[in-house]
Each structure stands twice: as C-alpha cells, then as structure tokens.
Structure 1
Amino acid sequence: MILVYSLNSVSCETEVQAYIRDNVLLPCIYDGTLPDSFNIYWRDKSNNKVLDIKNKAENLQTQHKNFKGRVESFSDQYVKGNFSIILRDVKQEDAGGYECNIRIGDGSQQTVRLNITGDRPKAATTPPGPAGGAAAVTQTSIQLLLCLCSSLSLLL
C-alpha cells in the first residue's frame, strides 16, 4: 500500500500573548521558494487592512485607520520569506484573530490569535536583563517553529 500526501496550502495558527501598551510580534513565515513578485495581505478579525505587501514593498495607502503608524514589517527579510509584523502600542480592541494571506502560487494562510490580558502588572523591582517583551517573542518563535515542523512533516 502506498500513501501519497498532496499539500496545496498550509494553514497554521499561532497564539500570541500581550499586555495593553506592549509592542507585539505577529509571526508570518513562508518557507517555500519565492517568485520575483508576490503579495502578502495582513487582515484583522474584522477583515480590516493591517498591512499589504505588494511587489516587495509596504502599501500603506489603504491601511485601516486603527493601524496607521502602529505596524512595522521587516522589508529586508522578505527575500527570506519573513512577513512578520510588529504591532505597536497594543490596545484591548486589538485582541482576536489576524490572518497573513500569502499570495504565492499555493495561497498559504497563517492565522495568529492575539490575546490581550489587560495592563502589565507593576513589578516591585526591575529585574536585570531584557525588557518584558523578550519572553513573548521567544515563546512565539517556539510556537512558530513547531507549526513549521508540523507542516513539513505533512510533506514527508
């Protein structure tokens, strides 16, 4: 008996935790071969335009007013398939699902669920080392790696 898997698109959900007023990384990684031209569409739970990346450049003209001046991508990383964004100054209303739609041949889609847990607790003392956001990025990186590994295992 021979079992064959055909994978035309990849859909993966990652969960990210943040506090109000934090800056948070919303991951989106494409691990296939990139063509010369591609389009990436970030949308929120209400299908508002968070960020569009067209022809290797951010298109901010149609960005929804709730995200103006609050979203940053890594244009130098596009060639490596990294279409992650940073959402700055997180608000309670930012909580919910975000979709990174990758319009490259197979039409991949990645979903990120952003959970907002209220205000960051005030610490009695400031601990040494990196600021609070570092742990969230590390946790997100691990979740993204697990997601990519499970997607790759489907191919094998």
Structure 2
Amino acid sequence: MFCVILHFNSHLHKCMFVAALFMICEGFLVKGPSGPLIVPLGSSVVLPCYVDDPLPLKGLKVIWVRTDANTLVHVFQDYESRPDAQYQDYHDRAHFFTDKIKHGNFSLRLENVRAEDKGFYRCKVYTEQESDETLIQIKSVEHLMVSGSNHPVSAYVGEDITLNCFADSHIPPEEIDEVSWRKTDKNEIIQVLVFEKNKIIPADERYRHRVDFFTAEIPKGNFSLRLKSVRTEDKGVYMCQVFAGNFSANTTAVLEQLGFSVLHIIVLILCIAASGSAAAVCSVVSKTKIIKHN
C-alpha cells in the first residue's frame, strides 16, 4: 500500500516551482483461514497466518496467543523461534515453519490436538514500523472412540453369544455412516453384518439369519453383535469398525474355546453307550448263530 503526497509551492509573478514530496507508507495485511477449524482428536493441525509479500526479518516479531486463556503459544523474535517462551502445555506441540517465515508464512503447526485446545488463537505480526493480526478459531475437536470387551468370549456349540461394540462419542448415532462387523480369518475376511444409512444389511450366507444388532440399543451407540446357534467354525477374531464423517475407529472381539455343553456330553456318552450295547447284542446274536450252526 502506497501513500503519495504532492506538495505545491508557488510564488506570485515568478515561475511556478513545484516540489513533489513522495512519502511511502509501507503496510501489510495479516491473513488467516476463511472460517473455524474442526480438528480430529490426537491429530495435527496448521493454524494459517501469512502475508502476501515477504516482510524484512530485521525487527520482525510474531506472537501466537491463546486469547480465551491468555496464554503464550509460540514466539518468533530476533531471527529465531523462541520455544522457551511457550506456555508449558504447548512445549513440543506448537511449531513454526521456520524456513517459511522469510516468505511471509507465520503459520503454526499444533500437534497431538487435545479436547482442551478448542478456542481462539491470535497471530500478531510486528515490524519496526507497524503491526497487524488475525484471529483463528479451533471450533471443535472431534473424536470417535469405539470400545468392546477386554476378554475373549467362550461358548458352547449351539449357544447364543454377544460380541460387544460401543461407539462412545459426541457424534450422534444418526450421523454414523456405517458400522461393519467382520470376521478376520487367516485366509479371508468375512463380512458378518453391516449397519448403513440406518439400515441393517445381512452379509455372508454363513451368518444369514444367525446375526443381528440390538436394534433398540443403537440410538445409545450400542452396536454389539448377537450371534445365535454358535458353530465350531465361528471361532476366531471379529472386528467392529465404525465410520462417521472423516473419522473411523474399531474394536475387536475374540470367540474362543468352543466346546460341547454338559448336555451335549451326556447325550454323546449315551449315544456311545447305546452304540456299545447294540454292538454287544449283535455279538451275542452272532455267537448264538454260530453255536447253533455247529
């Protein structure tokens, strides 16, 4: 931005003398993002702060401040970054792109974003003549957490079981795009059951009519899987994966120690005993026939 001032000085009956005085008023405009930032929990985010034309490094100072908490986030002064001036919560988390500062880029990289990082940040740039600033808002720190059971599930053949999956998040269940249950075998991945766009979609035929969600619990974020009439081939690792917007998270459940119940064992013993008795009867009959024949 240039300011030009022309000064005219003339004397009557003499040749007009024009003196032009040019005063250059150097100015700059600090720019930021076009709107609030929405950041995934635990990720990194760049808070934009820049000018269109590079500024001289001599006398340049850049200060990042968290306005709502009145804490110093980071400082650039005397040609270098000053991490020693940072508030403790930002140690090793807030960084300048130091090599970009000479090009007019004063953006800040904030790593391992926490829920409490939500708020307003001011980037103020000083030169020897003037200063300007921009305000950046981290509007929300979104996250999606999925939990299950810490212990393997044991079951008997023919029994009904539940594999746990809970979406613990501020994201409403109606905004969850998809929940997918899969069995991860060594040689293949079997799609067991899918919840997509508020519809339950059966998957692999091996689980058809044997799996379901607890439909009444879905609004509470409960996407646990009910598996009926367990078979020996059902043993293995199951993954519940939840998708919501740009986020996804998963948990696993292990089904192990598939065996026979006491009732199954008693029936098996009786069958073996009955088979043994039948064999004994057949043996006696056979011997009787041999004796009579002789």
After TM superposition, the score normalised by the length of structure 2 is: 0.37
The 3 A distance-change label for structure 1 pair 83 and 44 is: same
Match of 1:137 in 2: none
Task: Report the Cα offset of residue 121 of structure 1.
Answer: 2.2
1:45 aligns with 2:184: yes
Gaps of 5+ in 1: 124-156
User: Which stretch has the larger CA shift, 96-105 or 9-18?
Assistant: 9-18
Match of 2:157 in 1: 20
Structure having the larger proportion of residues in strand: 2
Percent identical pairs in the alignment equals 25
**Residues 168, 221 of structure 2: 8 Å contact kept:** yes
Q: CA RMSD in A?
A: 2.5
The AA in structure 2 aligned to 1:57 is K
The 3 A distance-change label for structure 1 pair 13 and 6 is: farther
**Residues 180, 195 of structure 2: 8 Å contact kept:** yes
Task: Report the Cα offset of residue 111 of structure 1.
Answer: 0.3
1:34 aligns with 2:140: no
SS in 1 for 2:248: coil
SS in 2 for 1:30: strand
Match of 2:229 in 1: 89
Task: Report the Cα offset of residue 36 of structure 1.
Answer: 3.1
Match of 1:117 in 2: 258
The 3 A distance-change label for structure 1 pair 28 and 12 is: closer
**Residues 146, 165 of structure 2: 8 Å contact kept:** no
1:101 aligns with 2:238: no
Task: Report the Cα offset of residue 12 of structure 1.
Answer: 5.3
**Residues 17, 115 of structure 1: 8 Å contact kept:** yes
SS in 1 for 2:192: strand
The AA in structure 1 aligned to 2:248 is G
Gaps of 5+ in 2: 1-87, 94-111, 115-142, 265-294
Cα offsets for 1:73-118 (capped at 9, x unmatched):
1122111100011100101110110000101243110100011331
Q: Larger radius of gyration, structure 1 or 2?
A: 2
Task: Report the Cα offset of residue 49 of structure 1.
Answer: 1.0
After TM superposition, the score normalised by the length of structure 1 is: 0.67
Taking the aligned partners of 1:11 and 1:80, their CA distance within structure 2 comes to 13
Task: Report the Cα offset of residue 10 of structure 1.
Answer: 4.6
Taking the aligned partners of 2:204 and 2:233, their CA distance within structure 1 comes to 14
